[in-house]
Structure 1
Amino acid sequence: MTTSAPATAAPFYTPPLLHPVHRFGSRTIDFSRQVALMAIINRTPDSFYDGGATFALDAAVAASLAAVDDGADWVDIGGVPFAPGPALSAEEEGDRVVPVIAAVAAASDVIISVDTFLPEVAARSIAAGATVINDTTGLSNPDMASVVAESGAHVVITHSLARPRTVFPRPQYDDVVSEVAAFLARKVELALSFGVPADKIIVDPGHDLNKNTLHTLEITRRFNEIAALGFPALAAVSNKDFIGETLNQAKDDRLEGSLAAGVVCMLGGARILRMHNVASASSAIGMTEAVLGWRRPAYLRHNMGEANHPAAPATPTGS
């Protein structure tokens, strides 16, 4: 008895982007030949990965600017974890993220997104300098689409099924990738109906969000079906539980697995990679872009001359 191999994304999948070039404030990204690196800044006392290391205002600002120095094109600033927990008022959430956004916008032209599902927080964040709203609840509040449309900001539409900050036990899918893609397509239509331009929309299949490890591995393997929607697709894989469960690793040991998952998604058409370990991710993205032919090597020396290696420097006289 033989079994067929699982469906896989073709190597170097090129998504049919409706609008390859996107402008974020003063920055322009051509997603037909560039992968943007999004750094993660959590101004929360109970964040999934860093456990509150950037909860203090000065720590959050410093981490944001350090990420820029390490190669981030983009910083994603959040004040509330996705994980289930008590609700935070719009005022308190805004007071967490808005000062960080304002300080980073004053110091850098980096793309800034705010990770929120509250329209009031989104509006305050845009006024402070954010150019992207990262809504991990997939426009669960349609007023968010109105805020985005009126402001001219971008929006990341993410697949998730639970009401914000609530438990969603034992998620079930017949075909997780097809169902996620259909959900995203519906939410894109909702955004368009509220006046959000198509060139301001980004999609995210929501790795691990209301999905088990097998679901998330399937999304990673078939990421090309998400990218085929025609909008820049974001892969948020960094240090997540699917990596820990797959490799039997604690959060602090998941860097290599995160980079591998990110590269698989990039080869499947992902054009934004959301990562904690910025310097390492920047190297992975740069190498992948070079393999794809989008980036020239920093220098060419190996086997480029009469000898395989450059001559050793001359020994100083009298040594």
Structure 2
Amino acid sequence: MVKDFKIMGVLNVTPDSFSDGGQFNQLDAALVQAEEMIAAGADIIDIGGESTRPGAALVSIDEELSRVIPVIKALRQAHPDLTISIDTSKAEVMDVAIHAGANFINDVNALEGHGDDDAIEVAVKHDVDVCLMHKKGLPENMQDNPEYDDVVQTVLDYFEQRVEACLSYGMDPDRIILDPGIGFGKTLEHNLQLLRNTATIKQMGFPVLIGVSRKSMFGDLLNRNVDERLPGSLAVAQFCYLQGADIFRVHDVQATHDVLTTSHHLIGMNNE
């Protein structure tokens, strides 16, 4: 039975990411971690050189490139057919990363760039898959009492606007993936409302990516430290998978793979 989900393994080559900052910001350590995730079932390796955690500082283009490009090049050489994602909001980084071997853009700014459409142009030029994420505010202020009249409708409206912008530049709609941006300018209740409505987001007609692995919502919900949040992360992954989510961005690849594979076979048995 062919699986109907993909797992995106998180590889932060940063000193300050919330869960694994500083663990993989040396090339050898990053490559070892990538190989372990691939062996555990990762379909995509998502490489980020700038933390987007609440309160994170901005990183220069040169610094971000110096972090991600050696990892992308080495990983592409070792795995010619692997999907390698560049986790960035900078058009210049996207362009250089794709030339180095990346073939997927994961952008928390949904290709909005810095008041221009350069990021969309890069994505269209290279014809790669793109993940458009919703967030409210900037990392330094996005968790300062975010408010919405209707968070689900706000996210749907935002996606409609960003998809229209991408299509207006000639992007292939089959390249577009949507991420509701759990934890990016949302309270715990906002996060829960969006997760409960995964199927509603999926009805827009695009694959849905869910990224909740080890996030602070589990600290709020369960009073668990970062290294104690796997059960909560797995519960959300299974819940969203059963609503039709397609891609799961996680730190714990093997555990997520096993939960979703088991769920997949149970669903298959029910449909026989």
Query: Would the TM-score normalized by the shorter structure come out above 0.5?
Result: yes
Distance 2:87 2:186 in 1: 20
- Shift of residue 181 of structure 1? 1.2
Q: Aligned residue for 1:182? A: 157
Aligned pair count reads 264
Instruction: Give the secondary structure class of the aligned counterpart of 2:268.
Output: coil
Residues 137, 161 of structure 1: 8 Å contact kept:
no
Instruction: Check if 1:86 corresponds to 2:60.
Output: no
Once residues 87 and 49 of structure 1 are traced to their aligned partners in structure 2, the CA distance between those partners, rounded to angstroms, is 18
Q: Is 2:124 the counterpart of 1:153?
A: no
Give the alignment's TM-score, normalised by structure 2: 0.93
Unaligned runs of 5+ in 2: none
Give, as a single letter, the amino acid of the residue that structure 2 aligns with 1:59.
A
Q: CA separation in 2, counterparts of 1:274 and 1:265? A: 12
Amino acid at match of 2:27: L
What is the deviation of 1:167? 1.1
1:191-240 deviation per Cα after TM superposition (whole angstroms, max 9, x unaligned): 11112110111110001111011100111111111111111100001011
User: By how many angstroms is 1:268 displaced?
Assistant: 1.3
2:72 corresponds to: 101
Structure with higher Rg: it is 1
2:141 corresponding residue in structure 1: 167
Correspondence for 2:5 among 35, 44, 55: 35
Alignment match of 2:242 (pick from 242, 260, 267): 267
Partners of 2:193 and 2:157 lie apart in 1 by: 16
Question: How big is the shift at 1:155?
Answer: 0.8
Q: Which moved more, 1:262-271 or 1:113-122?
A: 262-271
Quick check: 1:215 aligned with 2:183?
Answer: no
Q: Equivalent pairs: percent with the same residue?
A: 38
Between 81-90 and 47-56, report the one with greater CA deviation. 81-90
3-state SS of 2:85 partner:
strand
Closer/same/farther in 2, CA of residues 85 and 255 from structure 1, 3 Å limit:
closer
Aligned residue for 1:292, secondary structure, equals: helix
Spell out, residue by residue over 1:239-272, the C-alpha distance to the aligned partner (whole angstroms, 9 max, x if none).
1111221111111110010000111111111100
TM-score (norm 1): 0.80
Moved over 6 A (4+): none
Whether contact under 8 Å (2:13, 2:21) holds in the other structure is no
Q: Distance in 2 between matches of 1:289 and 1:133?
A: 27
SS of the equivalent of 2:102 reads coil
Between Structure 1 and Structure 2, the one with more helix by share is 2
Instruction: Name the Cα RMSD after superposition.
Output: 1.7
Unaligned runs of 5+ in 1: 1-29, 295-319
For 1:85 and 1:63, the matched residues in 2 are separated by 23
TM-superposed CA distance for 1:166, in Å, is 3.2
Contact 1:38–1:272 (8 Å) recurs in 2: yes
Task: Name the structure 1 match of 2:22.
Answer: 52
Q: Which of 75, 79, 92 is equivalent to 1:120?
A: 92
Determine if contact 1:43/1:97 at 8 Å carries over to the other structure.
yes
Contact 1:146 1:195 in 2 (8 A): no
Whole-angstrom distance in 1 between the partners of 2:141 and 2:264:
38
What CA distance in whole angstroms lies between the structure 2 residues aligned with 1:101 and 1:174?
Answer: 41
